[in-house]
Amino acid sequence: MANLELMRELSVETPSKIVMLVADGLGGLPGPDGLSELETAHLPNLHQLAAESITGLIQHVPAGLTPGSGPGHLALFGYDPLVFDIGRGVLEALGIDFDLQPGDLAARGNFCTVDEAGRITDRRAGRIPTALNVELCAELRAKVRLDGVETFIEPVEGYRFALVLRGPGLAEGLTETDPQREGVVPFEVAARRPEAQQAARLANHFIAQARAVLKDKRPANMVMLRGFANKPPIPPMHEVYRLRTAAVAVYPMYRGLAKLAGMDVFEGGKTFSDELEVTRKIWQDYDFIYLHYKWADSAGEDGDFAGKVVRLEELDAAIPAVRAMKPDVLMVTGDHATPAVLKAHSWHPVPFLLNAPWRYPDDVRAFTERDCRNGELGRFPATDVMPLAMAHAMKLTKFGA
């Protein structure tokens, strides 16, 4: 919190513009040929941008910890993720414009596939289409009843949905049901503290009823819940940094993150080209734009090394369009690593570049994990990203006498 107060004290308004381009799951690990996805991909535009920028590796949470998308993004926005611990359920609910009230308990839901013994065979139910998600949520709404609370079951996208419980005494502090692997039975919800006992009981009742409703469905015949949380207070970015802030994203959860940080949020359509078109339309009205690229992460989670390479090359092809808008500060990085060889998020630091007129050039010539670790910035915490951006945009006054 002290750093946010310092930013509030030192920040000044100027006409310069900052773009933060976050490639979800950007970082990777060497595949069979000894090269990571970034090292394998043909990335002439990102490599050229890196050669004109200062670079480094960022770490979103303490060493050895694997960040979720929430902590990863919050750190990039300047919030200490150990102080502002925000559950995934809140982000999913806000991302679909759900009117989350004080005291509501929100969770992110996954439709999944289980076998006759209840063991998970697919954590994402074959990535069912959103249209099927909508049908399943409607059926759950019609048939699930929980005593003493209002129950909201809202589709998000693909296999994801948001569950919100509204009523008295719904405290956060619950375990998750997703074991993060297949071949095992989902966990039951347990309370981590006494005041969360009622919420745990209701969550397990929801799961039991959902199991009964979905038992004959394929491939989405079960649900898992994670990220139980109440909505926390968080100081908005526009107050901390004196910025007019906007976010453009395709996936709802990332719009939820941005909304929680006080940004004006814009739906990005279906493709990154759509996101860029939205960005061009709002360009004159904002001096900080967070631009989210999702698809590298999805390929990494699927263990699709070649697919992630293709997605990184698609991002690279869009870099000239981003640069054509002429941001005064352009940053490219990720919210976490998603190595295809792990099929999951990982604890590894992520490449970062910052391009601005007042940069101190380094010798890095390629935007890869191996190259960026030799950059001017070295390995540094993601919470330093916003102060660096603000300084290079000439938006910070002098500290001290």
C-alpha torsion sign, points 21, 386, 262, 1 = positive
What is the model's pLDDT at position 2? 54
This prediction's pTM: 0.81
CA atoms within 13 A on the CB side of 227: 26
Q: Which amino acid is at 385?
A: V
| pLDDT in 10s for each residue of the chain, 401 residues | 458 999 999 999 999 999 999 999 999 999 989 999 999 999 999 999 999 999 999 999 999 999 988 899 999 999 999 998 888 899 888 888 898 888 999 999 999 999 999 999 999 999 999 999 999 999 999 999 999 999 999 999 899 999 999 999 999 999 999 999 999 999 999 999 999 999 999 999 999 999 999 999 999 999 999 999 998 888 999 999 999 999 999 988 899 889 889 999 998 889 999 999 999 999 999 999 999 999 999 999 999 999 999 999 999 999 999 999 999 999 999 999 999 999 999 999 999 999 999 888 899 999 999 999 999 999 999 999 999 999 999 999 999 87
Q: Which amino acid is at 269?
A: G
Neighbours of 231 (CB within 10 A): 20
Residues in the chain: 401
Whether the bond into 219 is cis, omega within 30 of 0:
yes
- 43-46: list long-range contacts, CB under 8 Å, 24+ apart: 43/312, 43/313, 43/316, 43/366, 43/367, 44/316, 45/316, 45/317, 45/319, 45/320, 46/315, 46/316, 46/319, 46/332, 46/367
Type and span of the H or E element at 284: none
DSSP SS3 for 130: helix
Which domains can be identified in the chain, with CATH numbers? 2-84+234-392 (3.40.720.10), 91-229 (no CATH)
Asked whether 390 and 242 are in contact (CB, 8 A), the reply is no
Q: 């303490």: which residue's tokens?
A: 62
- Rounded Cα distance, 273 and 155, in Å: 25
- Rounded Cα distance, 92 and 229, in Å: 11
Q: Are strands 378-381 and 54-59 parallel, antiparallel or unpaired?
A: parallel
DSSP SS3 for 128: coil
What is the model's pLDDT at position 1? 45
Neighbours of 72 (CB within 10 A): 27
Q: 């569950």: which residue's tokens?
A: 163
C-alpha torsion sign, points 401, 77, 3, 103 = positive
